[in-house]
Amino acid sequence: MSGLGVDKRAFQNIHLNNNELIHIEWITPLVNESLVQYAKRLFEQIQPEDDYYLIGVSFGGMIATEFAKIKTPKKLFLISTIKGKKELSGLYKYGSKLNIQRILPTRIMRTANPFTRYLFGVKLPADKLLLKTVLKETNPSFLKWALNAIANWENITPIEGITIHGSKDKVFPLPENTNYVIENGGHFMVVTQGKEISAILEKELD
């Protein structure tokens, strides 16, 4: 599962030998639907097999965490994400208390500019272009809903997963006890450092 507003292009640089990546598409959220409720509804539509592996990136990692509560995967990979509200950064945590996510103009987060490029950690022209395209195509209603759902996610259930995080992630700062730290990795590292992440996934799958 890719990050907020991102489709399968998030995994364009992830290459796994002898394994097929099946991308889970987002569905339209219901009015006032919580992240937990949304994840359950999405899970019911997907119905993964008993013997399944699960990869979640950023917002997709939170949904993957809720999937794992319903049916435990053989292995859960959490990339550039958090496992609960305690890992939310201070800015997001206090901003959510003020409901900033409800009044924040979505056009700010849907435009490629120096701030969003800094936030996602992209530097190469090709990565900047992909980020620009992805942000532009993000559904503003889905973005608004998701930001509020993240702010109100109350998960406190310990979930066993293999965590992969960038040392310079500005969206979700590096959590403690991360299994694999990608040096100089930003929030968009699934694209910018796909080769390193692929090697970790291959190692764990083997």
pLDDT digits (tens, 9 = 90+) for 69-85: 999 999 999 999 998 87
The answer to whether residue 3 sits within a structural domain is: no
Q: Could you give the CA distance from residue 43 to residue 63 in angstroms, rounded to a whole number?
A: 9
Residue position matching structure tokens 């800094």: 118
> Does the residue 193 lie in any domain?
yes
Number of domains present in the structure of the chain = 1
Helix (H, G, I), strand (E, B), or coil: what is residue 181? Answer: strand
Residue 2 lies in a domain: no
Phi, psi (5° rounding) for residue 175? -75, 160
Can you give the residue range of the structural domain that contains 190? 8-205
Could you read off the pLDDT of 7-37 as tens digits, one per residue? Answer: 788 899 999 988 888 999 999 999 889 999 9
Average pLDDT, integer, range 137-158: 84
On whether residue 1 sits in a domain, the answer given is: no
Between 44 and 10, name the one with better pLDDT.
44
CATH number assigned to the domain comprising residue 185: 3.40.50.1820
**Residue position matching structure tokens 């890719």:** 2
Residue 160 maps to a domain: yes
The verdict on residue 99 lying in a domain is yes
Per residue in 181-203, pLDDT (tens digit) is: 999 999 999 999 999 999 999 99
pTM over 0.75: yes
Residue-level length of the chain: 206
**Contact between 3 and 59 (Cβ < 8 Å):** yes
Domain membership flag for residue 87: yes
Angle, in degrees to the nearest 10, between helices 140-151 and 35-46: 120
Give a yes or no: residue 113 inside a domain: yes
Distance CA 35, CA 19 (A): 29
